[in-house]
Chains A and B, each alone.
Chain A
């Protein structure tokens, strides 16, 4: 009989899950894709993130690969930003400065030629930041998940991808309904992939109204930042290792506000402050992007993992989604060992 379509489940509906599902549905021939998650926008980790395209380094990912992931993501979003869909998709260009209190070890980051117009700040520009000795000016993209994720969902539905709300406790629950599982469950992989290396890197931030701010400011390592977006300005942040508390801490909010006002004094006038907390899906080695063949009691379940993006999920999501889709495709093309199917 003709080949049945390959049934693929994508676990997770944050930016990684949805983009991976889209790439899989576009790359893998004759497949049916279902996105399964307990949380959807605006309740995913991605929704909290400011969405600035500035990548982070992952220890186990070689720089050329990381750069490729970033470039693919940047090019994908750049095309959206310049199209008529930009507003719907929540993607726009923004310029600004990354500033340093002491000369950083690397003069030019690996991603400098991916963003636009990267250059050193002039002396006149640095006058704005009297405590800083050096800075970079560039133009990058901001990708806001509360708009981008619904936009991805629309494209997924148009491609015939199914979307299911369900809480999965174990990947084996997806067997035998699905032939391949793509695991984009972020922090959920601690349980679902039994990955004890996964832990939250808690981030608290403030969303405020300050519409006069048109530039981003990022201090050195990125712990303190001011990121103007479509309908608010995001002030951050924190990096609290292993902290699962999702309720905002008032002292931390005061500290964030004070650090950001030091960079941008006009913030004192900002109003309508809302506190947010997100738990970044942190993995010390970085992104886990690989196939694993689960086997148990004679059952087999191929899993493509795509999780552990930490602070850099939005910055590299499309590049990792493309690679995950390639891994799925390899898995599909590999000769299938016949196993009894108990579906209809």
Chain B
């Protein structure tokens, strides 16, 4: 059973791991490979600040709320294990700030200790009049991808640096199932008018006194267009750029200034923080995640494709719930092809 995962960001590697963990013992013939033209530290996952927080509004697809919850619970169960630092995991608390009251989000009971801000909390942020405080998790993209790569390598999964030009080329290589985790570039394998880049730029600084995340919101402007500050394990990420349709992967001076001024206004002492890096990434924006099966026919055989792309700015937040669903779909394929003696575990 030859399986190829296309894409080595968090979606590709976690899908690969979830499938392998669940099926390799019942499918001895499982031969899994990862094909990608970019590996860590060059993926979009590497640019992400890594805060586990879904968008404010309920997702269009209600399953996504469930996948967010499953991811949080999964990561939370690991944050107290000895693996936590290796996985790039840490608990972090912080603030979401608004100019006026808004309803509590659907994930208020997923995160820990959710509460609205008191007037004294708001004294810290004179430009804002309402907000939330809660404890969540960060999962640092680069560290997590390294950890996933180590786990997959231990399991004998092989990695190949190649740019896949078509599903057909992979299918004709004798592959039975393709997991399509190509993120923002999925359109080059199969046109998808719903998929667009949501360009983001971030500045990483040395600011180890920052122990809280601070995310400001201007709901009319849209998500991530307002300054945010997210501490990581070694550095702090400053951001606030979201440009729909912009494919440029180059840092932009005007965006740098927008981020810097916005974040220094929020936390004045940041003006002295040393800049360590500046990065641009392309969020794979879609009205909802494409997570579904498709059968493609090349020559005389059917190739199963499981699509898993379009996670916007919440890929790390939702990745494990999606990986579990991909594994479920994988199990259905095995069932249909009568490759399992017993029905596959469905989690």
Please determine whether B211 and A125 come into contact, CB atoms closer than 8 angstroms: no
A contact residues around B209 at 8 Å (CB): 86-87, 90, 92, 230
B residues at A contact (CB < 8 Å): 79-82, 84-85, 89-93, 112-113, 115, 117-118, 120-121, 123-124, 133, 135, 207-212, 231, 233-234, 268-269, 271-273
Distance A119 CA – B93 CA, assembled complex (angstroms):
15
Verify if A269 is at the interface (C-beta below 8 Å from B): yes
Question: Whole-angstrom distance from the CB of A230 to the nearest CB of chain B?
Answer: 5
Interface size classification for chain A:
35 or more
Is the beta-carbon distance between B91 and A215 smaller than 8 angstroms?
yes
Closest CB of chain B to A111's CB: distance in Å? 13
Once the chains are docked, how many angstroms separate the CA of A94 from the CA of B209?
Answer: 9
Docked pose: A139 CA to B125 CA in angstroms: 15
New A-B pairs, 20, CB < 8 Å, besides A122-B113, A214-B91, A214-B212: A83-B269, A85-B269, A86-B209, A87-B269, A87-B272, A88-B269, A92-B211, A95-B211, A117-B115, A117-B117, A121-B113, A125-B112, A125-B135, A211-B208, A211-B233, A214-B92, A215-B93, A215-B211, A265-B82, A266-B80
B84 touches A266 (CB 8 A): yes
Question: Which of chain B's residues has its CB closest to A80's CB?
Answer: B269
- CB <8 Å contact, B93 and A95: yes
**What are 11 A-B contacts defined by CB distance under 8 Å?**
A85-B269, A87-B207, A95-B135, A95-B212, A117-B115, A122-B112, A212-B84, A212-B89, A215-B91, A228-B211, A266-B84
Chain B binding site: helix, strand, loop or mixed by DSSP? mixed
A92-B210 contact in complex given A84-B269, A266-B85, C-beta closer than 8 Å? yes
Verify if A336 is at the interface (C-beta below 8 Å from B): no
Query: Once the chains are docked, how many angstroms separate the CA of A61 from the CA of B109?
Result: 42
Q: Which residue of A lies closest to B207 (CB)?
A: A87
Q: Which residues of B contact A211 (CB under 8 A)?
A: 208, 233-234
Distance to closest chain A CB from B90 (angstroms)? 4
Q: Could you say which residues of chain A place their CB within 8 Å of the CB of B89?
A: 212
* Other-chain residue from A78, A125, A213, A214 in contact with B113 (beta carbon distance below 8 A): A125
| A58 to B15 CA separation, bound complex (whole angstroms) | 58
Q: Is the CB of B93 within 8 A of A214?
A: yes
Chain A 130-142 against B: per-residue CB contact (8 Å), 1 yes, 0 no? Answer: 0000000101000
Whole-angstrom distance between the alpha carbons of A86 and B120 in the complex?
Answer: 18
- Interface membership of chain A positions 93-124, coded 1 if the CB is closer than 8 angstroms to chain B and 0 otherwise: 11100000000000000000000110101101
Chain A residues, CB < 8 A from B82: 265-266, 268-269
Question: Which residues of B lie under 8 Å from residue A83 when comparing CB positions?
Answer: 268-269
Chain B residues contacting A213 (CB-CB under 8 Å) are 90
Report A218 CB to chain B, min CB distance, Å.
15
Contact between B268 and A214 (Cβ–Cβ < 8 Å)? no
Among B113, B211, B233, B271, point to the contact of A93 (Cβ < 8 A): B211
Find the B residue at minimum CB distance from A212.
B90
A1 cross-chain contacts in B, Cβ below 8 A:
none
Contact between B120 and A214 (Cβ–Cβ < 8 Å)? no
The distance in angstroms between the C-alpha atoms of A266 and B91, with both chains bound, is 11
The distance from the CB of B218 to the nearest CB of chain A, in whole angstroms, is 22
Cβ-defined partner of B115 (8 Å) among A119, A212, A231: A119
Interface contact B124-A214, CB-CB below 8 Å: no
* Complex alpha-carbon distance, A88 and B273, angstroms: 11
Q: What chain A residues lie within 8 Å of B84 (beta carbons)?
A: 212, 266
Known pairs A92-B209, A215-B91; A137 contacts B113 (CB<8 A) = yes
The answer to the question of A240 belonging to the interface, with a C-beta cut-off of 8 Å to chain B, is: no
Residues of chain B within 8 A of A230, CB atoms compared = 208-209
Contact with B along A306-342 (1 / 0, CB 8 A): 0000000000000000000000000000000000000
Tell me which residues across on chain A come within 8 A of B273, comparing CB atoms: 87
A116-B118, A117-B133 given; A214·B211 CB < 8 A: yes
- The answer to whether the Cβ of A191 comes within 8 Å of any Cβ in the partner chain is no
Q: How far is the CB of B30 from chain A (nearest CB, A)?
A: 33
**CA distance in complex: A88, B209 (Å):** 11
Contacts of B118 in A (CB 8 A): 116-117
Check if A290 is an interface residue, CB within 8 A of chain B: no
Which B residue sits closest to A113, measured CB to CB?
B120
Q: Is A82 an interface residue (CB 8 A)?
A: yes
Q: Which 3 A-B pairs have the closest CB atoms?
A: A86-B269, A84-B268, A92-B209
Tell me how far the C-beta of B220 lies from the nearest C-beta in chain A, rounded to whole angstroms: 27
Q: A117-B115, A211-B208, A214-B231 are in contact. Are A93 and B124 (CB under 8 A)?
A: yes
CB distance from A43 to the nearest CB of B (A): 23
Chain A residue numbers with a CB within 8 Å of B115 are 117, 119
Q: How far is the CA of A26 from the CA of B118 in the complex (A)?
A: 33
| List of B residues within 8 angstroms of A84 by Cβ | 268-269, 271-272
A78 with B80, Cβ < 8 A, contacts A116-B118, A211-B234, A213-B90 known: no
Query: What's the minimum C-beta distance from B320 to chain A, rounded to whole angstroms?
Result: 18
Asked whether A93 lies within 8 Å of B120 as measured between CB atoms, the reply is: no
Residue of B nearest to A120 (CB): B113
